[in-house]
Structure 1
Amino acid sequence: MLSILIPAYNINTTLLVKELYNQIIECNIEFEILVYDDGSKSSINITNREINLLKNCTFKELPNNIGRSAIRNLLANDSKFENLLFIDAGTFPKKKSFIRDYISLKNKNVVHGGMTAMDETPKPPFKLRWVYTKKRESKKGLHSCNFFVKKNILKKNPFDETLKKYGYEDVLFFNSLKKKNIPVYSIENPVIHNTDDDANTFIRKNEDAIENLVRLINDNKLEKDKVGISKYYYQLKKIKLDRLLINVFKILKPFLTRNFNSSYPSLLLYDFYRLGYFCLLKTKK
């Protein structure tokens, strides 16, 4: 009745799977839990293989990395049931009723549960990711890290497999649902995001995401005035300030990096970094 689908890469998922397993056993329904590692070839997978010992649970190691979009589509295609629940590795349900709350809404086509940050503040250089989750991701937006969807909906609206790297695959997916007037029902049923990404790793992921965004806009898959960072760029370009911002960005980059790794990372400076990097990429096109 419910397929729980967990895309993973180089991460221990056993605690997450055991929590989900215990919750769904209490619901007394048919289920499966599929965890696919996207070709990480990590020694951590020795531990992850213990998942196969649990009833109706499968841990599979892909021979090659296929990307964040393709692995979600693959999990959906391999699933047995019409009800799909996607949960990212590196998260953990906040509530003991997490699975039960989703099952109660099984008649909905798409349900988004949200994300929240860990209660404990991490030390630098892990604080930037935590602050971003706490102040931004937990407040707004739709994320593919925690959502329920009917299999037929996903198969008709798959994740864009041309996106191999991190970023904007969820924006594109939920945007496609919106264009087809498929409602997304939001509830307060969050997963807690861990803080395993240090500041430099998180910034590199953001650069990957911005590269995806530039390509999606160039390919007319996302409208340039519908995404904040792109909208600001075109406003700057219109008044011929985009190149000035690029020069300032290049000068300040070492200072920005130090701030991101500090005890007081600034989301304002984080926004400036992302805009500066976007402008830089656009001038190269």
Structure 2
Amino acid sequence: MLLSVCIPVYNFDVRGLVFDLKREISVNGVDAEIILIDDASDEGFKNIHQILQTEVENFICLEKNIGRSRIRNLFQNYASGKYLLFLDCDGKITEADFLKNYTDFIQKHPDTDVIYGGRTVSVSAPDDDHYLRWKFSVERENLPLEFRLNKPYLSFQTNNFVIKKNVFEKVDFNPAFQKYGYEDLLFAMDMKSAQIKIDHISNSIVNNDLESNAVYLDKVGESVESLATMLKDKNLAEKLSEVKLVKLYSGLPFKPLFELILGDFTLKVLKKKLSKGRVNLRYLDLYKLGLLIKKMK
């Protein structure tokens, strides 16, 4: 088996993604299997996914939620492919040769260890209530290939990547961090420390589930909390020193002054402004910085 498609599932209807993958496997004759692990989703999603039990190679349902890092590591126990392709469950495939693009690259570059294909969102702006996450994706995450090639580790994300199984057995996700945020960059920097090259290609998947501004801001808070925990570990802090927010925090000339300026009142004002959606992302940068200063106390 060349490729194991690994999809962690949590409270999202993954049927469309699975059937699109199965269709390409059949049409293009791709040597691939599909594995799903449900991280203790609500019963409603478990019920609608019953149909997938006979449609994929393996569908494991966990009784307790184990988080974003551990569930990805768990796929090593079930995947039989030489390479593992990790996809987020809220992804949507728009390329007819999506899997074939990866397998062709592997065949042309048999020494490749990790491949990141990229991500995108709808070109049409959503309503104001969902605008902030969309704007962040467009301006900060959905980077063109030429930019990603210049910063292969900082541009890496976990929504759509291939990794050789024996490499993943050596460098996997840090199980200490289960919440949302920065686990992908930590994983990338662990690979950088281990001198594992990340190849980048143009083979994006569409993020099919933009959160509301309120939900996204809650996730921003969770991500900054995770980052603060990482930075309190000197070994991890060194690995994350290139991250934009970390560089901004580390470069503050007089932190007590900024702690005062970006205190609780300012954070409330910024959050209220950001919740409207259509704002400059510099306000989001200030909000994150204020949260990080608070969490690092």
- The residue number in structure 2 matching 1:221 is 236
Larger mean Cα displacement after TM superposition, 75-84 or 183-192: 75-84
Check if 1:70 corresponds to 2:76. Answer: no
Unaligned ranges ≥5, structure 1: none
Q: Does 1:186 align with 2:200?
A: yes
| Paired-residue identity, % | 29
Aligned length: 280
Structure-1 separation of matches of 2:279 and 2:77: 41
Q: Is the 8 A contact 2:228 2:292 kept in 1?
A: yes
User: What's the offset of the Cα at 1:201?
Assistant: 1.1
Deviations 1:144-183 (A, max 9, x none): 1100110000010010011110111111111111112111
Q: Which stretch shifts more, 154-163 or 236-245? A: 236-245
In structure 1, what residue type is equivalent to 2:236?
K
AA at the equivalent of 2:192: K
What does residue 231 of structure 1 align with?
A: 247
Stretches of 4+ moved more than 6 A in 1? none
The alignment status of 1:143 with 2:153, answered yes or no, reads: no
Matches of 1:110 and 1:243 in 2, distance apart? Answer: 40
Cα distance in structure 2, aligned partners of 1:204 and 1:263: 14
TM-score (norm 1): 0.92
5 Å matches for 1:92-111? 92-106=92-106, 107=110, 108-111=112-115
Alignment of 1:113-152 (within 5 A): 113-139=117-143, 141-152=155-166
Q: Over the residues paired in the alignment, what is the CA RMSD in angstroms?
A: 1.7
* Counterpart Cα distance in 2 of 1:119 and 1:274: 26
Aligned-pair CA distance for 1:49: 1.9
**Cα shift readout 1:92-151 (whole Å, capped 9, x = no counterpart):** 123111111001122221100011111222112111111111111102511011001100
| Distance of 2:25 and 2:103 partners within structure 1 | 10
- Given residue 112 of structure 1, which amino acid in structure 2 is its aligned partner? Y
Distance 2:39 2:209 in 1: 20
Contact map agreement 2:115 2:161 (CA 8 A) in 1: yes
Query: What is the CA distance between 1:241 and its match in structure 2?
Result: 2.9
Alignment partner of 1:3: what SS?
strand
Measured in 2, the distance between the counterparts of 1:192 and 1:66 equals: 25
SS in 2 for 1:171: helix
1:242 alignment partner, one of 237, 258, 280: 258
- Aligned to 2:8, the other structure's residue is in SS state strand
Q: CA deviation at 1:209?
A: 1.2
1:2 CA displacement:
1.1
Question: Residue 22 of structure 1 corresponds to which residue in structure 2?
Answer: 23
Using the size of structure 2 for normalisation, the TM-score is 0.89
Deviation of 1:251 after TM superposition, in Å, equals 2.1
Corresponding residue number in structure 1 for 2:151:
none
Instruction: Give the AA of the match of 2:115.
Output: V
CA distance in 1, matches of 2:140, 2:265: 27
Aligned-residue offset at 1:253: 3.1
1:202 aligns with 2:225: no
- Secondary structure in 1 matching 2:180: coil
Q: Could you tell me how far 1:59 is from its partner in structure 2?
A: 2.8
Q: Is the 8 A contact 1:14 1:51 kept in 2?
A: yes
Instruction: Give how far 1:10 is off.
Output: 0.6
Q: How does 1:74-89 map to 2 (within 5 A)?
A: 74-89=74-89
Match of 1:44 in 2: 45
Distance 1:31 1:121, change over 3 A: same
Q: Which amino acid aligns with 2:127?
A: K
- CA 29–100 in structure 1, closer or farther in 2 if over 3 Å, else same: closer
Measured against aligned partners, the alpha-carbon deviations of 1:213-245 in whole angstroms (never above 9, x if no partner) come to: 111121121326322212212222546533233
